[in-house]
Amino acid sequence: MSAAVGGSGPCIGLLELASIASGFETADALAKEAAIEILEARPVSPGKYVILFTGTVEDTTSSLRRGMETGADVLIDNLLIPNVEPTLLALMRGEASRVTDLDAVGIIETLSVASTVRAADIASKTGSLELIGIGLAMGLGGKSYVTFTGPLPDVTSAVEAGAADAEAAGMLVRRVVIPRPHADMSKVLGL
């Protein structure tokens, strides 16, 4: 397993909107507001639009504020994480996990993209573990999930911490911890 997560990182912002047309308009407005990098801006099931972006805290906050103003009438959820875990940001950029050995596996599944990203960030800062995958509402009926691996006690506490946040927001679908996963789980998890 590579180095444990939990260090400092850049800022991310996220908006989930109930309108695809408004999503395009909002993405344009927030990109014009400040020097941010749009990581994802796309329609997701069921008819929502998600915009995920990164930059300095100041620029990301300013763009998030502008996006919330532009899409106010169709805003479902929003998120600002000023110190996002760098490996989470790498997964959101589409960079593959470098994990080759699975100890225990944790999975948190939620009803929204924002709640999964928030749960993933909390979980990654809770213990010595490695994020291995994130599914952000693409072909999932609007649901999202995050997977990670590490020592069983760390995975268990990370799942509980991340799931507690999603549960408090009414967004938790399921939390799972798989101790000593079968060797074929690497293929199942896309590693």
**What distance in Å separates the CA atoms of residue 190 and residue 152, rounded to the nearest whole number?**
21
Do 140 and 55 share a structural domain?
A: no
Do 163 and 118 share a structural domain?
A: yes
Contact 91, 133 (CB under 8 A): yes
Q: Is the pLDDT of residue 170 over 60?
A: yes
Do 71 and 44 share a structural domain?
A: yes
Pairing of strands 75-81, 144-150: unpaired
pLDDT of residue 140: 63
Convert the pLDDT of each residue in 112-154 to its tens digit. 888 999 999 999 888 788 888 888 876 666 788 999 999 999 9
pLDDT of residue 2: 33
Is the model more confident about 132 or about 160? 160
Distances (CA, A) of 54 to 58, 133, 140, 165: 11, 19, 24, 22
Do 131 and 117 share a structural domain?
A: yes
What mean pLDDT comes out for the span 9-24? Answer: 91
Residue 162 lies in a domain: yes
pLDDT of residue 26: 97
Instruction: Give the up-direction half-sphere exposure of residue 179: CA atoms within 13 A in the CB hemisphere.
Output: 4
pLDDT of residue 85: 82
pLDDT of residue 83: 86
- Domain termination site, one of 81, 96, 128: 81
Residue 1 lies in a domain: no
- Domain termination site, one of 81, 109, 132: 81
Do 98 and 68 share a structural domain?
A: no
Do 119 and 163 share a structural domain?
A: yes
| Residue 178, both tokens | 């798989």
Do 165 and 95 share a structural domain?
A: yes
User: What is the CB neighbour count within 10 angstroms for residue 2?
Assistant: 10
Q: Is the pLDDT of residue 25 over 50?
A: yes
Q: How many domains does the chain have?
A: 2
Residue 144 lies in a domain: yes
Residue 2 lies in a domain: no
pLDDT of residue 152: 94
Q: Is 99 exposed, middle or buried (0-12, 13-18, 19+ CB in 10 A)?
A: buried
pLDDT of residue 190: 74
pLDDT of residue 29: 96
Residue 5 lies in a domain: no
Q: What share of the chain is helix, strand, coil (3-state, %, to 5)?
A: 35, 30, 30
Q: Is the pLDDT of residue 8 over 50?
A: no
Q: Is the pLDDT of residue 3 over 60?
A: no
State which residues form the domain around 142.
Answer: 86-188
Convert the pLDDT of each residue in 40-92 to its tens digit. 899 987 788 999 999 999 999 999 999 999 999 999 889 999 988 888 888 88
- Sorted by sequence, the CB contacts under 8 Å of residue 61 that are 6+ apart come out as 11, 13, 80
Do 106 and 77 share a structural domain?
A: no
Residue 148 lies in a domain: yes
Residue 67 lies in a domain: yes
- Sorted by sequence, the CB contacts under 8 Å of residue 79 that are 6+ apart come out as 12, 13, 14, 114, 117, 118
Q: Is 94 exposed, middle or buried (0-12, 13-18, 19+ CB in 10 A)?
A: exposed
Phi, psi of 109 (to 5 degrees): -115, 130
The lowest-confidence range among 3-17, 91-105, 116-130, 161-175 is 3-17
Do 46 and 96 share a structural domain?
A: no
Q: Is the pLDDT of residue 31 over 60?
A: yes
Residue 3 lies in a domain: no
Q: Residue 175 is part of a domain; what is its CATH number? A: 3.30.70.1710
